[in-house]
Chain A
Amino acid sequence: MGLSNPFQGQRIVLRAFEPDDADAVHSLLNHPELAGRRYLPDEFPDTTPVSTGQVRALIEKSGGGGRALNLAVASEADGALLGYASLDWWWEPLAPSLHVVIDPQHWRQGYGSECAHLLIQFAFDTLPARAVAGGCASWNEPAREFARRLGFMETGAARRAGLRRGQPFDWVRFDMLRREWEGSNNAAGR
């Protein structure tokens, strides 16, 4: 078996953020379609405009301190920034949390799935994880469908997570157990 890069996909590569990414990240985060689904640390806004200073701080912070990965999702073909993703086991290595954010102009092209597969595999290959967990707002049907297609199971919701357009919404939780991942086609053929 040859050496392989766990962050290299067919069409994407996951890499660390660099200061030069700031403009592209600023543009991406302020995309109106991503309001409410940026999945940033608590001190950064989830729905309101993000400044260049905040983006620089975010990139600065993206090292993760050895208990999280915060990676740029880049095109294998031309290196363009397609989105970003995180895998965080700071609190509990038994159940790291995964988030994938793809630039809306590149939605429905399979980049998110490819990215998620790499990070789920990384979690089960390198961490003592029993499960990989995630979550999204209840109004975010595309994200829920994305998670279901990957094999995640919805396990409930934190009720009244916030307000959107005057309506309360929940925060849906989902997770996938190691044995579910290993028993699925996702992990087959490794």
Chain B
Amino acid sequence: MPLEGKLTILREEREEDVPVFLALRNDLATQAWPKTLPPDFTMGMYRQRHEREFTMDRLDGRFAVEWKENGACIGHIGYTDLRPRWSAGIGITILQDYWGTGAGLDAQETLLKFLFEELGLRVVRLWTNSGNPAAIRLAEKSGFRITGRGREAVFRMGAIYDGVAMDILREEYYERHPELTDGLPPLTGDLT
């Protein structure tokens, strides 16, 4: 069963998705790396970078975002740095043609539901920068809060920005989702 939202499906990456991922990686607006990479990735480089082997000990997850309306792959979303039953960091990239459609928020909410309901995380984090207000707004729509900054730590598009750290706690997620019941008891002292 894929992870399904109202507008998008998060599914495994497929060979036919690679041109989309390559386009995202070679677009400075969607590259999403504060430390910008040259937009010169080739198909071969991309495939090499993303080759994965099967293991039961997964500390990351990576999904293609499929637009339900037409079945097109429109981006990717994933988590890294998993500390099992505790925390992970997320990242999302969507084709510019689909900005403003609700696709990003839908995919983000679908991933968060998986991380809290299935992986039982206590906190989910993300990093962006003050030069990317759209990313901050998207995160805030899902309940992320800005919790830290790295002052003047990012340079992109010709300007210096702050790195921005955001996170959402488990109880904050469930407060926003009264349709869900948190079946994982809080830890002692975990309510502050």
Contact = CB atoms under 8 A, between A and B. Distances in A.
A168 B152 contact: no
A11 B54 CA distance: 52
Interface stretch (A15-23, A54-62, A89-97, A110-118): A89-97
A87 to B, nearest CB: 15
A95 to B, nearest CB: 4
A143 interface: no
A88 interface: no
A159 B123 contact: yes
B189 A159 contact: no
Nearest to B153: A95
Interface in B14-67: 34-35
B187 interface: yes
Contacts of A156: 146-149, 165
A155 B148 CA distance: 6
Q: Which of B34, B148, B187 has the most CB of A within 10 A?
A: B148
B160 A130 contact: yes
A166 to B, nearest CB: 5
B95 interface: no
A68 interface: no
B187 A94 contact: no
Interface in B157-192: 160, 163, 165, 167, 169, 187-190, 192
Query: For this complex, into which size category does the number of interface residues on chain B fall?
Result: 20 to 34
Interface in A136-177: 153, 155-160, 162-163, 166-168, 173, 175, 177
B8 interface: no
A158 B165 CA distance: 7
Contact of B169 (A131, A159, A166, A177): A159
A133 interface: yes
Contact of A130 (B34, B87, B122, B153): B153
Contacts of A177: 151-152
15 contacts: A91-B35, A94-B154, A94-B160, A131-B150, A156-B149, A157-B147, A158-B147, A160-B123, A160-B167, A167-B188, A167-B189, A168-B192, A173-B148, A173-B149, A175-B150
Interface of A: 91-92, 94-95, 130-131, 133, 153, 155-160, 162-163, 166-168, 173, 175, 177
Which 8 A-B residue pairs are closest in the complex by CB-CB distance?
A156-B148, A95-B153, A130-B152, A160-B123, A155-B149, A173-B148, A167-B189, A156-B147
Interface of B: 34-35, 86-87, 122-123, 125, 146-155, 160, 163, 165, 167, 169, 187-190, 192
